[in-house]
Structure 1
Amino acid sequence: MITVAYQSRDVYFLKTFGSRLRQYRLHQRMTQEELAELAGFSRSYYTEIETGKRNISLLNIRRLAEALDIPVKDLFDFPFE
């Protein structure tokens, strides 16, 4: 298994993305399990995304946006450093 060392700005980005995702999930009154199921993920995989521990693919980002019924761009509506 290859381990990737992230820079602090990468960690910030992943955690901020996860936080943004959490905001949308809670706004729609979904549990992690419900959103994970809608997007086709396991709950543990989804939890790693939301906590910033997982760097996901563009296709999985699209699946999350579709499950939340929002445009993909809305998931990136936060300041980048």
Structure 2
Amino acid sequence: MINILTLVGAKVRDIRKQKGLSQEQLGERSGFQFSYIGSLERGEANISLKNLDKIADGLEVNIHELFSFSTELTHSNINKEPYLIEIIELLLKLEVPDLKKVNVILNEIFN
């Protein structure tokens, strides 16, 4: 099974960045230390539903939005899971300019 903690953490990070929030700002809004937000985003924190609700409130989104990731990742690519997780974890460590470069490179190679 795909690591739900990694997927939810990536979703939290995506929404946080879309809203222009730092980990510290999200932590202040949600009542957590920024280090906890970081561990959540890396998929290291086994977050409770109660705490996830606080994070959703801090992000000003409905909690279900934290679970709305690609169904392709969750259903049809189970045999690809280890590779997808490894790639996602590597990509999560990158800043936006580097992600843009990766996107260009992948499009050149595979399109």
How far off is 1:45 after superposition?
1.1
* Alpha-carbon distance between aligned partners in 1 of 2:35 and 2:58, rounded to the nearest angstrom: 17
- Indicate whether 1:65 and 2:49 are aligned: no
CA deviation string 1:31-67 (max 9, x = no partner): 0110011100011111110100011000101001111
22, 25, 32: which one aligns with 1:34:
25
Question: What is the identity, as a one-letter code, of the residue corresponding to 1:65?
Answer: A
More contact order relative to length (CA 8 Å, sep ≥ 6): 1
Aligned to 2:46: 55
Q: Tell me the percent identity.
A: 33
- RMSD across aligned C-alpha pairs, in angstroms? 1.2
Computing the radius of gyration from Cα coordinates, the structure with the larger value is 2
Superposed structure 1 runs of 4+ greater than 3 Å apart: none
Give structure 2 stretches of 5+ with no counterpart: 76-111
2:83 matched residue in structure 1 = none
Looking at structure 1, the residues matched to 4 and 66 of structure 2 have their Cα atoms a distance apart, in angstroms, of 12
**TM-score when scaled to structure 2?**
0.61
Given residue 77 of structure 1, which amino acid in structure 2 is its aligned partner? S
- Normalising by the residue count of structure 1, what TM-score does the alignment of the two structures yield? 0.82
- Structure 1's unaligned 5+ residue stretches are 1-8
